[in-house]
Structure 1
Amino acid sequence: MLVELGVALLVVAAVPYLLFGVVYAWFRPSGSPIEKAPYEPTVSIVLPTYNEAGIVERKLADVAALDYPSEKLELVVVDASDDRTPDIVASYFEGVEDAPTVRVIREESRKGLAVALNEGYAAASNEIIVKTDCDSTVAPDALREAMANFADPAVGGVTGRTGEVLGGSEVESDYRGIQGHIQTLESHLDSTFIFHGPFSAFRRDLVVPVDSDSLADDSELALRIRRGGHRVVFDPAVRYSEAAHSGFRQRRTQKDRRAMGLIRLLTRQASALGRHGWYGRAVLPFNWLFMIVGPWLLALGLTVLTVGSLLSFGVAGAALPAALAAFVAVGSRDALGPLQPFYALFDTQVSLLHAGLALQFTSADGLWEPEAELREAFD
């Protein structure tokens, strides 16, 4: 009986993936859902920094390399560092022709990413706000590709895809590929849920403050803009790169933190379910199944199936947990070959489960410490 129950729970846990597969095969969406057109508004790039002295010059070079008129660019840096970061930023473009306007906002004390971004967004003066991270790189054509979506006045926000995962994590690379397919379908149905820190763009007149304790500030702002009546879309032509851990344990800190933010956002904005077109009727329910319900069903199903196998088959029943342990051990080393994407999904479900538990017993305030290993991969 327990074996059958465990199998049933695992089948139910697989429902989000099956639903996605069927709908994706039916629609076969690709590219941006927007009829893009050349569009060249003024842009404010908001960059939050905290002790980035070792990598900030590379990020500033990344901004300088953007294929966009410098007279239409403004760089707003919100800094809470106690190292040389603000001095490097202030002097980087001195004497450089065709440099963007640079403004550095110094925080008296570190208040968290959401507060820093609210300050940066309030200080931005241009038509479109682009938020990016210091430990990421953006493709030179990313701005032009993103702005072409804003030629449609119904679009309020645009995000992009990971072109490269720095650090060599095939697990994360596989998951980002799957995530890109999900977000493409979401955008063609209506709007996407997740917005990405390395590149998120919004119309300035639609920007509203996010919660001061937000752990998913980009996605929260996108959700609020969608609730206000504008589409927020994923355009795979907008590319960026960021670093990710390969090791199972090392990956937990980075992925669990992101998972905590998305779970908290979904639960706080539960009133959007069933509203705002297909966004509330399909996109948000799918993410609830994938991020909140599915991980618990997976954990419960594996537990019940393991107990049932041990009770039914004795020592032979231990083959199931042994197989699972081998799956994790091999998968975390990027060595599962064609099965690696399945491990990437499993790994994400582990993070979502751990994040759900952490939100029950810890108070996350968004004051994360920089990860030296990831910065080495970026540098």
Structure 2
Amino acid sequence: MLELLLILALTLIHFGVPLTYYLYLKTVWFKKPWNVKRDPGYKPKVTVIVPTYNEVAFVESKLDDIAGQEYPRGLLEVIVVDSRSSDGTLDIVEKWAKAHSDVRLVIVRESVRRGKAYALNNALRYASGDIIVVTDADSIWSSPKTLENAMSWFNDLSVGAVTCLKKPVNPGFTGIEEGYREFYNIVRVSESKAWSTPIFHGELAAFRRDLLEGVGGFPLDLGADDSHTATLIAIKGYRAIAVDNVLCLEAIPRRGYHMWRVRRAQHLIQHFTRIIRYVVKAPRRLKPILVVESYLHIVNPWLLPIATTILVYEAVNGVLLATIPLAMTVPLLSYKPFRTWIATQLYLVVACARNLWTREIAWEKPVKYV
């Protein structure tokens, strides 16, 4: 009986904490107006950095995406920093640059591939913009006004960093990716309205250059370079926000989806494991966000396999009550939010274990939907 009570307690904590946090954010913050002085007419000088490594399938469309933005050409600069691609990526970039002489484009060639953060810091040396925008080559900006919309938030001097919301180009394995984004987009916006979100997105991550340089650029030993940098800026007292008028489309792997999710989970765990030490320095409204998100990424996922292991042990040893929740799990997996949550927790558990021997700072690119 004590074992069953322990299982019940672990289960209630595992599902109860994130559900309570989600409902609190959605009911208290999600529908509140933004307390940010946004100006659609605000147009600072922008440097867009596109890091590439074997992006032959995506780089031309990414550059077209940027060139198609309704943003003054005189205030726009593009830097492609290539980490020794071997598939002809740079040939496409050079050809594109010749055909689009109206766009200022700088190519930075790296002789050794050392990871995304290293490439971004390298590109920063050549940037002239007041706002630095980082965008993945395999992402799609959903509107010609994406850049303009993102920059409008920087009119408020309290805003130090801005990121997008994401929508997958296909639902992913059994709809998991689609369900994941539906849930987390609400969380990201709500946290941003409360103060700041500690999770940024590589499809579009924008930073005030002086603040970016003030935190030392992008961390070389963490995979979540965008999230960690934005959170350090937020800890300094500025806002780091995911905004609801900037949507980007995310390419999903055709193969290796699960390892792709595990790698991303590894990077977030690295980020929260380090950022938690700065909680005492964080602004008052950011503190609870950092504490809860760190708990949800580092501790909470482990409660599920612990409770499940005890439950299976009890069922194998003839405890009838233990078989009931196990039997209920099968039909519950047909419910997309439940299926999405379980998968996400398993990715985090595996990611935590993998971080013991590899940090995945540079990785083999999965084949994604074009």
Aligned to 1:3: 4
Aligned to 2:217: 209
Within 5 Å, give how 1:211-290 maps onto structure 2. 211-245=219-253, 250-290=256-296
1 CA distance for matches of 2:299 and 2:204?
28
Deviation track 1:161-209 (CA, whole Å, cap 9, x = no partner) reads 11x3113323211111111111111111111110000010001111132
Q: Indicate how the Cα distance of structure 1 residues 181 and 30 shifts in structure 2: closer, same or farther if over 3 A, else same.
A: farther
Q: Quick check: 1:5–1:305 contact (8 Å CA) kept in 2?
A: no
Question: What secondary structure sits across from 1:82 in the alignment?
Answer: coil
Aligned to 2:37: 35
2 CA distance for matches of 1:245 and 1:278?
39
Deviation track 1:305-341 (CA, whole Å, cap 9, x = no partner) reads 2222333436x855644554565xxx5xxxx3xx312
Aligned to 1:348: 344
- Choose the corresponding residue for 2:191, options 182, 186, 195: 186
Deviation track 1:31-85 (CA, whole Å, cap 9, x = no partner) reads 7542311210111000000111222111111111112112211111110212321
Q: Unaligned 5+ residue runs, structure 1?
A: none
Aligned to 2:169: 166
Q: Quick check: 1:131–1:201 contact (8 Å CA) kept in 2?
A: yes
Report the more deviating stretch, 128-137 or 88-97.
88-97
One-letter identity of the residue aligned with 2:206: A
Aligned to 1:18: 20
Normalising by structure 1, report the TM-score: 0.89
Q: Indicate how the Cα distance of structure 1 residues 245 and 31 shifts in structure 2: closer, same or farther if over 3 A, else same.
A: farther
One-letter identity of the residue aligned with 1:272: Y
Aligned to 1:198: 203
Q: Quick check: 2:141–2:248 contact (8 Å CA) kept in 1?
A: yes
1 CA distance for matches of 2:116 and 2:199?
17
CA RMSD across the alignment: 2.1
Deviation track 1:222-245 (CA, whole Å, cap 9, x = no partner) reads 012112221111101111001225
- Choose the corresponding residue for 1:301, options 285, 296, 307: 307
Deviation track 1:130-178 (CA, whole Å, cap 9, x = no partner) reads 000011101221111111100001111000111x311332321111111
Question: What secondary structure sits across from 1:157 in the alignment?
Answer: strand
2 CA distance for matches of 1:47 and 1:27?
33
Divergent runs of 4+, >6 A? none
Residue identity over aligned pairs, in percent, reads: 31
Larger RCO: 1 or 2 (CA < 8 Å, sep 6+): 1
Report the more deviating stretch, 298-307 or 57-66.
298-307
Q: Indicate how the Cα distance of structure 1 residues 187 and 33 shifts in structure 2: closer, same or farther if over 3 A, else same.
A: farther
2 CA distance for matches of 1:193 and 1:114?
18
2 CA distance for matches of 1:57 and 1:226?
34
Q: Indicate how the Cα distance of structure 1 residues 57 and 28 shifts in structure 2: closer, same or farther if over 3 A, else same.
A: closer
Q: Quick check: 2:170–2:178 contact (8 Å CA) kept in 1?
A: no
